[in-house]
Amino acid sequence: DVKVTQSSRYLVKRTGEKVFLECVQDMDHENMFWYRQDPGLGLRLIYFSYDVKMKEKGDIPEGYSVSREKKERFSLILESASTNQTSMYLCASKTGTGFGYTFGSGTRLTVV
């Protein structure tokens, strides 16, 4: 089975900190995605990547950036964390030809 690993299950950060959320997949998938999930708002796409060093903005990229230096790793960066970025962050990957995503277990980030 494809495994998508998010490095932290829970994180607490202070306002203004630079935060790195890491995601690694082990099946050579081309496409990787970062979503955030909030009650009443559902899953919203932040950024995605379809190849190494390629990145595209999703629906809510403001306040975030990403890095994909290697195919297996896709990092989400909060340049200066704010309280409105408190959320569950979900990473996902898929092959270029396959259907559906495989999600990581999520990182619940709290910004205080």
The pair of three-digit structure tokens given for residue 97, joined into one six-digit string = 């030809």
Does an H or E element contain 88, and which?
strand 87-94
Using the rule CB under 8 A, is 84 a contact of other proteins? no
* 14/59 with CB nearer other proteins: 59
Q: Are the C-beta atoms of residues 9 and 106 closer than 8 Å to each other?
A: yes
Q: Which of 78, 66, 77 is nearest to 33 (CA)?
A: 66
| Binding range to other proteins, per CB under 8 A, among 19-27, 44-52, 67-75, 78-86 | 44-52
Using the rule CB under 8 A, is 83 a contact of other proteins? no
Report residue 53: phi and psi, to 5°: 65, 0
Residues 6+ apart with CB under 8 A from 97: none
Using the rule CB under 8 A, is 43 a contact of other proteins? yes
Using the rule CB under 8 A, is 36 a contact of other proteins? no
Among 21, 23, 24, 31, binds other proteins (CB under 8 A): 31
How far is it, in rounded angstroms, from Cα 24 to Cα 56? 18
Using the rule CB under 8 A, is 90 a contact of other proteins? yes
**Which residues within the stretch 45-64 sit at the binding site for other proteins (CB under 8 A)?**
45, 48, 50, 56, 58-59
Using the rule CB under 8 A, is 94 a contact of other proteins? yes
Using the rule CB under 8 A, is 15 a contact of other proteins? no
